[in-house]
C-alpha cells in the first residue's frame, strides 16, 4: 500500500496530525501553483491554498478511494474553491478598489507589458467565470492544471468527446470576446 493511502486512512481513522502534514506537504506546492496561475496574486494564492487544504482535511471522510484518485479529488475541491472565490463579493469589491499606485515598476516597458498581461488575464478569467460550472472546471483543469482531455473526462465522469466539445466551444467563445474587445 502506498504512503498516500496510509496517510489518508490514518487521518480518517484518528485525525493523525503527522499524516495530515505529510499529505499537505506532498501537494502544497502543486496546489499553490494551480491557484497562482489563476489569480496572479501571491498573497491571495497563499490564502486560497490554505483554505483548500482546510476544506480537504475537514471533508476527507467523504473521500472515496474507489471513485477517484486523491489528487483528482483535491483538484476538484480546489477548482470549486476558485469558482466560489470568483463569484464572491470580496473578489468583486477587490477589483473595484485596486489602484495602479499599488504596483511598483522599474521601467516603463515593464509597466506596459505587465498591465497589458494583467488586463488580458483578467478578461480571460472573467470570461471563464461566466461559463457554466462544468465548462469552468474543464477550462481550469486544462489551462491551469495541465490535465489531458482523458484525465478531465475521468474527473468529470463524462465522455472525452464531451470534454473536448465543451473545451473548444468555451475557447472559441473566449477568443471571440477577446477579439471583439481588441477592436473596440
Q: What pLDDT score does 32 carry?
A: 94
Q: What pLDDT score does 146 carry?
A: 82
Same domain, 53 and 118: no
Same domain, 70 and 122: no
* Packed helices 70-87 and 108-129: angle between N→C axes, nearest 10 degrees: 100
Q: What pLDDT score does 125 carry?
A: 80
Same domain, 57 and 114: no
Same domain, 114 and 167: yes
Q: Which residue among 78, 98, 118 closes a domain?
A: 98
Residue 164 domain boundaries: 107-184
Q: Which residue among 53, 70, 98 closes a domain?
A: 98
The mean pLDDT values, 10 residues at a time, for the chain of 184 residues are 86 90 94 89 93 93 86 90 79 50 48 59 81 88 86 88 93 84 66
Q: What pLDDT score does 108 carry?
A: 46
Instruction: Please give the tally of structural domains in the chain.
Output: 2
Amino acid at each position: 500500500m502506498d504512503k498516500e493511502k496510509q496517510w489518508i486512512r490514518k487521518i480518517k481513522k484518528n485525525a493523525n496530525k503527522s499524516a495530515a502534514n505529510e499529505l499537505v506537504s506532498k501537494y502544497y506546492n502543486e496546489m499553490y501553483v494551480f491557484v497562482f496561475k489563476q489569480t496572479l496574486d501571491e498573497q491571495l494564492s497563499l490564502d486560497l491554498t490554505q483554505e483548500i487544504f482546510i476544506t480537504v482535511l475537514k471533508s476527507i471522510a467523504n473521500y472515496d478511494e474507489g471513485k477517484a484518485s486523491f489528487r483528482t479529488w483535491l483538484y476538484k475541491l480546489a477548482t470549486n474553491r476558485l469558482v466560489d472565490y470568483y463569484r464572491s463579493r470580496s473578489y468583486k469589491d477587490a477589483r473595484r478598489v485596486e489602484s495602479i499606485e499599488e504596483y511598483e515598476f522599474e521601467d516603463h516597458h515593464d509597466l506596459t507589458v505587465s498591465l497589458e498581461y494583467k488586463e488580458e488575464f483578467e478578461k480571460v478569467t472573467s470570461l471563464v467565470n461566466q461559463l457554466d460550472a462544468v465548462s469552468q472546471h474543464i477550462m481550469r483543469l486544462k489551462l491551469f492544471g495541465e490535465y489531458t482531455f482523458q484525465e478531465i473526462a475521468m474527473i468529470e465522469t463524462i465522455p472525452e468527446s464531451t470534454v473536448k466539445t465543451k473545451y473548444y466551444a468555451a475557447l472559441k467563445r473566449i477568443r471571440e470576446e477577446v477579439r471583439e474587445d481588441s477592436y473596440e
